C-alpha cells in the first residue's frame, strides 16, 4: 500500500509543509485574480508580456537577454512577447549606446500609461482585500514577503543542500 501524504492542514502551522501549501495557494489565487484583471488587456496584449513592461519601467531599458535572465524565460519567448509589445506601441527598440549593433527595449509613454492603469486597478483590488488589516499587519506581511522573496532569489532549488539522513522517507512496514 503506498504511503499516504499528510494533508497540509494537519501539519503544524509553522512547518515547511504548511508554508509550502500556503505559498501554492497564494500563487494560484494571485494568478487567478491577475488573469481575470488582465486576461487579454484592452490592447490585446497577453498578460505574460506585462512582466516585460513592468521590468522595463522598473529597471529602465534592457537587452532581451537581460530580460530573459530576470524573468527566468527563454530569449525566444521574450523576443516574441516584446515584439507584440512593440507592435502595440507599448515598447520601443533603441540602439544600445554601449554596442551599436545591439538594441535595448524601452517602455514608451503609452506603455507607461497602460502599465499605470493596470497598476491602479490591481492596487484598488488589493486595498479592498486588505481593508480589514491593521497597518501593523500590512507592514509585517510586507517585511516577511520581501524577506522570503529575497531568499528565494538567492537559493537555487537545484542547488539545495542534501537532506539529513533521518529526513529521507522510508517504506517501513
pLDDT in tens, 76-119: 999 999 999 999 999 999 998 888 888 999 999 999 998 898 88
Strand partners, 91: 107
Q: What is the mean pLDDT of the chain?
A: 84
pLDDT in tens, 133-158: 999 999 999 999 999 999 988 888 88
What top-level class would CATH report for the domain 18-156?
Answer: mainly alpha
Model pTM?
Answer: 0.68
pLDDT in tens, 68-88: 998 888 999 999 999 999 999
Domain residue spans of the chain? 18-156
CA distances from residue 156 to 12, 70, 137, 159 in whole angstroms, order as listed: 26, 14, 29, 5
Collapse the DSSP code of 30 into the 3-class scheme (helix H, G, I; strand E, B; otherwise coil) and give the result.
helix
**pLDDT computed for residue 97 by the predictor:** 87
Amino acid at each position: 500500500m503506498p504511503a499516504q501524504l499528510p494533508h497540509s492542514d494537519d501539519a503544524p502551522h509553522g512547518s515547511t509543509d504548511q508554508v509550502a501549501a500556503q505559498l501554492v495557494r497564494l500563487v494560484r489565487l494571485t494568478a487567478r485574480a491577475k488573469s481575470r484583471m488582465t486576461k487579454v488587456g484592452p490592447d490585446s496584449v497577453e498578460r505574460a508580456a506585462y512582466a516585460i513592461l513592468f521590468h522595463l519601467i522598473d529597471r529602465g531599458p534592457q537587452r532581451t537577454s537581460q530580460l530573459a535572465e530576470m524573468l527566468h524565460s527563454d530569449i525566444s519567448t521574450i523576443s516574441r512577447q516584446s515584439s507584440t509589445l512593440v507592435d502595440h506601441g507599448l515598447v520601443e527598440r533603441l540602439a544600445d549606446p554601449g554596442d551599436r549593433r545591439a538594441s535595448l527595449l524601452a517602455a514608451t509613454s503609452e506603455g507607461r500609461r497602460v502599465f499605470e492603469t493596470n497598476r491602479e486597478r490591481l492596487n484598488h483590488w488589493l486595498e479592498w482585500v486588505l481593508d480589514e488589516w491593521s497597518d501593523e499587519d500590512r507592514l509585517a506581511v510586507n517585511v516577511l514577503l520581501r524577506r522570503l522573496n529575497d531568499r528565494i532569489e538567492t537559493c537555487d532549488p537545484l542547488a539545495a543542500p542534501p537532506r539529513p539522513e533521518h529526513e529521507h522517507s522510508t517504506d517501513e512496514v
